[in-house]
Amino acid sequence: MTARILVLDDEEDILEVFRLILEPEGYEVHVAQQVFDDLADIERLAPDLIILDLVIGSQQDGHQMLLRLKQHPATASIPLILCTAMQNGTSEHEEELNKIPRLEKPFDVDELLRMIKQLLSSSPSPQQP
């Protein structure tokens, strides 16, 4: 079965780049330019992996989405990649953020694909293309 990847980024061009990279690799790619107000929408989508920009809208939107994903039982175990141009800062959640794989923008395509394969192969029920 094809792995489903959800990409959350507020830049349309970046979302298109993810589609152009990941769809030819056999992944089912879903994109969103804003955070989900209702995590039930993510549950219904059932992504195998989420790629999240920490800076969506206001800087706090990405952080808040991350915290909500990690605190919600149905989404807490979904592997995440933080893809952001934001450097490590003095966030009150920095220790937790450091545990999540981070891909700095601009990113290397080979590094992105390596991270995705690694996370999908280590998740409880990986669905690789």
What CA–CA distance (Å, rounded) separates 3 from 80?
Answer: 14
* Domains of the chain, each with CATH number or no CATH: 4-121 (3.40.50.2300)
What CA–CA distance (Å, rounded) separates 22 from 6?
Answer: 11
Which one, of 31, 25, 28, lies nearest residue 7 by Cα?
31
pLDDT beyond 70 at 93: no
Q: Position 88: which residue type?
A: N
13-52 pLDDT, tens digit each: 999 999 999 999 999 999 999 888 899 999 999 999 999 9
pLDDT beyond 60 at 126: no
pLDDT-based confidence at residue 63 (cuts at 50, 70, 90): confident
pTM above 0.85, yes or no: yes
What CA–CA distance (Å, rounded) separates 92 from 46?
Answer: 29
79-88 pLDDT, tens digit each: 999 998 866 5
pLDDT beyond 70 at 6: yes
**Which residue in the block uniquely carries the two structure tokens 């490590």?**
88
Which stretches does DSSP call E strand in the chain?
A: 4-8, 28-32, 49-52, 80-84, 102-104
